[in-house]
Structure 1
């Protein structure tokens, strides 16, 4: 009996739980929680935001169209002025520059170029 008091758990009231032991169980299956209901003010706010977004998109499209139209008008004006002044096109100018770079007569040797500070030493150029 003395041994039982030392080894066995106490079976009387202050030490023994008044509740029955609970057997472990699997958790219940997850249930999809429905979204919270929306209010009228929330729906109106969303509608206002959507309208604002659409207005911004329309304004951006108008701005882009106006910019494209302005660029096209500037291009036409440039062509008109170049035609009136009988100027070569930019493409012709670029082709002439490329052809000039390939021509060895236009390439200066390092020996024929004046030194970098030569103009300043002679008293010419600069401020």
Structure 2
């Protein structure tokens, strides 16, 4: 699915992000500025879980050995992406538009005209 900014997004992505945001907001134990900061810090926790999964998939901890799979790493990376999108939604109800514009800028800056055709 291509959105109005020419970026690809899975069907229902932003509806799902909005639903997750509403669910979190309804049960938010800490609100206001502190709640906002905690929502942003959740990203650090999720990135740490990616690191743990990579270490576990490669067996880099000799005491533990191989404890994760590359499928676990994929799942943790998805959690990072979802957490970031929900954090963005926390900052603005126009998260999809903000993300689409930013993606278009990064794509143009990185790929130039090479990335505009498929």
TM-score bin, normalised by smaller chain: under 0.3
With structure 1 as the length reference, what TM-score do the two structures score? Answer: 0.23
Report which of the two has the higher share of helix: 2
Q: Which has the higher contact order (CA 8 A, sep 6+)?
A: 2
With structure 2 as the length reference, what TM-score do the two structures score? Answer: 0.24
Please identify the structure whose Cα radius of gyration is greater. Answer: 1
